[in-house]
Amino acid sequence: MARRQARNLEPESFGPVYTTGTSFRARAEARQRRYRAEVLQEGWDRHGHWLDAEAVGRGANFVVPAAHAAAMRRRDAGKGVGERTFRNMLSSQAMCFNLFAPLAADTDLATAVLAPLLPGLVRVDSIIIEHTPAADVFGDQTGRGGVDCDLLVEATFSEGAAVVVIETKFVEEEFSSCGFRRAGRAARGQVVCPEDVPVRDDRGACAYQGVKGYGYWRRSEEHRTLVELPAKGCPFGGPLWQLWVNHALAHVEAARRGAGRALFLVCAPSDNEALLSGGRVLDEFRALLRQPGTVGLLPLDALIDRVGAVAGEGSEWARGLRDRYGRI
């Protein structure tokens, strides 16, 4: 696909451009505009990659009906799925349903697709999309708040039972950061964690534990996931925060199911250099872990290739995934 970013170089049917330039996000957005106009032949709302109300009602953001139905069921459960998932064609959550809803409905299919990508995988036993942990896991479930995971996979590997937690990302440029380091908190009189917070020797110095009473540190200690940290400063004050809490969640969920192995994977496009930094973000996180091999990348492009190989490149599912999310 030609990388045409300027509004006046695209047909009017493509709709208004939101992101210009040649970044991964700009290229992905251009693809969604084209796909909406030429393949879906649906209307736009405000931006060319936002579906209008009629398209939303038809479930046009989903490549197969099973993905749309799964998203609606999760939305109706009351947490985790909002309007953006149905309207915004760059939604990572919509991508998650498009990729994994057919696999969640058929574990034999899931095993065939995922086995070559997860060394040692013998069988996928279940896939839960948008898993909300029990309230006592972290103690942070407050209405629509609290740590969830995009996917929780129960599986059997050659070594035995395992739990795999997967985070899906499409065009995001970074992982979610610590809420107590967000800009503007001090100006609003809110608690801010200092850069030199001494969490190595005093976990309660972290506002998530000392102020909120959340159990991220307690769970990490319970499962001995981390190496000794620097004397001052918290490595999870930035985008490693999301990796940390999801990794801890994988270990808690594995222990509660009697599984001897816990894995945390990031499913993202290899081309999203801003997010992955050539793999350096995951390497930085691995350096903080006692078992670095419990973290990995599930490349989006490889997953789409597997869907094509198993379901057939001519299938509605494989075509939709490749047209929407394939290499740009």
Low-confidence ranges of the chain (pLDDT < 50): 1-8
**What CA–CA distance (Å, rounded) separates 149 from 267?**
12
User: Quick check: 12 and 42 in contact, CB under 8 A?
Assistant: no
Is residue 93 in some structural domain?
yes
User: Is 20 part of a structural domain of the chain?
Assistant: no
The reply to whether 253 falls in a domain is yes
**Residue 131: what are its φ and ψ, rounded to 5°?**
-80, 130
Residue 314 is assigned to a structural domain of this protein: yes
Residue 196 lies in a domain: no
| 50 in any annotated domain | no
Note whether residue 13 is domain-resident. Answer: no
* pLDDT single digits (tens) 162-214: 999 999 999 999 999 999 999 889 889 999 999 999 999 999 999 999 999 99
Answer yes or no: is 9 within a domain: no
* Structural domain of 289: 61-176+239-325
pLDDT tens digits, 233-274 = 999 999 899 999 999 999 999 999 999 999 999 999 999 999
Q: Are 246 and 147 in contact (CB under 8 A)?
A: yes
Q: Which pLDDT belongs to residue 6? A: 44
- For the chain, the domain total comes to 1
Kind of pairing, strands 121-131 and 47-51? unpaired
